[in-house]
Amino acid sequence: MFKKIAIAAVVLAAFGAAPAQAQQACTTTIGSVMSLTGSLGALGQEIAKGAQLGVADLNAAGGVNGCKIELSLLDDQTSPSVGVDAARKLIDVQHVPAIVGALASGVSASILTSATVGSNVVLISPSSTSPAFTQLADDGKTNGYWFRTCPSDALQGVAMAKLATDAGIKKVAILYLNNPYGEGLSKEFSAAFKKSGGAITQNVVYNPSQPSYRSEVNKALNPKPDALFLIGYPGDGTTLAREWIAAGGPQKFLFPDGLQSQDFVKDVGAQYLKEVHGTAAGAVDTPSLELFKKEFQAKYGALPAQPYITNAYDATVLIGLAMAQSKKNDSTAIRDALRKVTDPKGEKIYAGVESLKKGLQMAAEGKAIQYVGASGPLQFDKNGDIDAPRVVWDVKDGKVTPTGMVTVEQIRQLRSGSK
């Protein structure tokens, strides 16, 4: 589906027009590892723009600690081994204090365990949703250097189960990608759906980059379910969806955040996707979101209907604010300051150049601030996790269309079993 591009390193620096006094002689480089090619490439290229816009806004707001910020963005090709190599280059050669990324949970897990934790470098992902990261942090295996600006799939699984139940779906077959994302979301959805009275007819794992998935599809079809929950990314997901349809599978689909892609809908064929129930990370409607949308449109065009672009912006901005608050550009200082710049008792700071200028100044003066992100309020718990709503989406007239929201409070009630 995706054109394969050999990219050794893609380094993108995004600078906004800043006043003369902000044109600094020094530069601080932060890293980013994202999927610009591979099965997540179509989504990753847009998510990367969120990080680039974050750097542009920080620089237009005057830079951080007297220096302008540069983003070194490397492609992981949606491959854990390539992602680790990219992270090692950022750490060992460019000496970055923090990395925004990765996108796929499997890539982030490899980077975390093979590169960033051992080097004491902050890794803050905008889209790695596997519940496994919570356990790693809880077991003390991240040393506090792991954060994410997206909610765990422990929340998405519950939200998806609610959608299926509300739609009257009783029996669901699951096809899930063999990585931490697929495993975690399958487990969370299965538990929540069974709790609500539904049945899982089959739970079938598949490996990436296969030419065909007929065996897996045939297994998932026996016995025949009411709907398919397909967990994966656009590349392999396209092949699976096509083969499911060709095999006569019911054209009722549950799709997670990894498949909220207009390219995926186009390649499968919108005519086959008339009953879709989708979930993705939601954004609370804040002043930051509206400011972000305006800035994104001015720089890149209309904000696409896909997840995690705002989350990448927030992750990047938070690194800048943390550096300002600690008055240092090193990783441990950033780690320790990230919760200080999201202090619920602090003065609210929003996205956009003008508010960030104020936030950077207040942080540098040691004053309490609460950055309210484009993706919503960001309150990191002890494991680096946040709570966030889930957006509900479907396909209308061939277009990926957000249609509603499952709130944080609703998810909490569902997880606790209360009505």
Tens of pLDDT, residue by residue over 32-73, are: 999 999 999 989 999 999 999 999 999 999 999 999 999 999
**How would DSSP label each residue in 35-79?**
-SSSTTHHHHHHHHHHHHHHHHHHHHTT-BTTEEEEEEEEE-TT-
Residue 403, SS3? strand
**Residue 237 pLDDT > 70, yes or no?**
yes
| φ, ψ at 271 (rounded to 5°) | -65, -20
Q: Would you state the pLDDT for residue 304? A: 92
H or E, element range at 297: helix 287-300
CB 380 within 8 A of CB 386: yes
The predicted model gives 127-154 an average pLDDT of 96
pLDDT at 5 > cutoff 60: no
Tokens matching residue 277:
């129930």
d(CA 303, CA 300): 8
> Are 189 and 174 spatial neighbours (Cβ–Cβ below 8 Å)?
yes
Q: At what angle do helices 41-60 and 287-300 cross, to 10 degrees?
A: 100
Dist CA 161 CA 159 (whole Å): 5
Write down the pLDDT at residue 418. Answer: 43
Residue with tokens 């008339």: 274
Residue 156 has pLDDT above 80, yes or no: yes
Which pLDDT tens digit goes with each residue over 368-398? 999 999 998 899 999 999 988 888 999 999 9
User: pLDDT averaged over the chain?
Assistant: 92
Q: How many helices (H) and strands (E) does the chain have?
A: 15, 15
Position 24 scores a pLDDT of 57
Q: What is the pLDDT of residue 229?
A: 98
Residue keyed to tokens 């993706």: 375
Q: Reduced to 3 states, what is the DSSP secondary structure of residue 273?
A: coil
Residue written as tokens 């992902």?
125
Q: What percentage of the chain exceeds 70 in pLDDT?
A: 94
Do residues 96 and 121 make contact, with C-beta atoms less than 8 angstroms apart?
A: yes
Q: What is the pLDDT of residue 342?
A: 96
- The model carries a pTM of 0.87
pLDDT-derived band at 4 (thresholds 50, 70, 90) equals: very low
Q: Which tens digit of pLDDT belongs to each residue from 251-272?
A: 999 999 999 999 999 999 999 9
- Please answer whether residues 104 and 89 qualify as being in contact, where contact means their C-beta atoms are separated by less than 8 angstroms: no
- Beta pairing, strands 171-177 & 227-231: parallel
Q: What is residue 2's predicted lDDT score, i.e. its pLDDT?
A: 36
Residue 327's pLDDT band (cuts 50, 70, 90): very high
Q: Is the pLDDT of residue 144 over 80?
A: yes
CB 335 within 8 A of CB 145: yes
Residue 334 has pLDDT above 70, yes or no: yes
Q: What tens digit of pLDDT does each residue of 101-131 get?
A: 999 999 999 999 999 999 999 999 999 999 9
Q: Say how far residue 396 (Cα) sits from the centre of its chain.
A: 24
Residue with tokens 């240092």: 328
Residue 140, pLDDT score: 97
Please give the pLDDT value at position 281.
86
Residue 412 or 259, more confident: 259
- What confidence tens digit (pLDDT) does each residue in 280-309 have? 987 777 899 999 999 999 999 999 989 999
Averaged pLDDT, 237-260:
97
Instruction: Provide mean pLDDT across the span 276-281.
Output: 94
Q: In the sheet that 146-148 helps form, which strands lie side by side, from edge to edge?
A: 67-75, 26-34, 98-101, 122-125, 146-148
Residues of the chain with pLDDT > 90: what percent? 86
SS3 306: coil
Q: List the Cα angle 385/327/24 in 5-degree steps.
A: 115
Please indicate whether residue 408 or residue 136 has the higher confidence score (pLDDT).
Answer: 136
Tens digit of each residue's pLDDT (9 = 90 or more) over 175-210 = 999 999 999 999 999 999 999 999 999 999 999 999
Tens of pLDDT, residues 397-410: 999 999 998 888 88
